[in-house]
Amino acid sequence: MDLANLTLTRREKQMLIELSQAARYPIVRFELHSSEEEELLSVALDAVRITETDDSMDLVKERGAALRRLADLGLVVLDYDVSVWGQGDYDVYYRSELYELFCHTAMEAAQKPGFLFNLAVLRKGRAHLTRTGVDALHLC
């Protein structure tokens, strides 16, 4: 990758800086599962980064788009196979207005006959810089 010609948005640069300063950078994915068909999965919202319980959907989507682009560029890894996490890392997600809305929406949909995606799941993950991401950070 030619880092000299890399153009990042203000949000992408901000996220690289945040990632470099964080001991852990928890992210989540809002998933819908089926209690009837175990293999069924639908991702409702990916690369979710919530820092305040009242973060807006627009802000969360903007952060998610930035994280996905940074991952596509090879600057960041988004890992959802996290088996160990720090106490309290995901508290803000569980308390957030967006997660509450997600759960309520899933519960309402589950009441419809034949609707398969009836379980709201918060898939825990983390983001971290790659070596290339560290190099790109020095150019910001």
User: How is the chain split into domains, by residue range?
Assistant: 8-137
Tens of pLDDT, residues 8-42: 999 999 999 999 999 899 999 999 998 888 888 99
Q: What is the 3-state secondary structure of 63-113?
A: HHHHHHHHHHCCCEEEECCCCCCCCCCCHHHHHCHHHHHHHHHHHHHHCCC
Closest CA to 45 of 25, 77, 24, 67: 67
The pLDDT score that the predictor gives to residue 84 is 64
Tens of pLDDT, residues 54-72: 999 999 999 999 999 999 9
Only one residue has tokens 């308390």, namely 95
Q: Are 120 and 106 in contact (CB under 8 A)?
A: yes
Q: Indicate the CATH number of 8-137 among 2.60.120, 3.40.1000, 3.30.450, 3.30.110.
A: 3.30.110
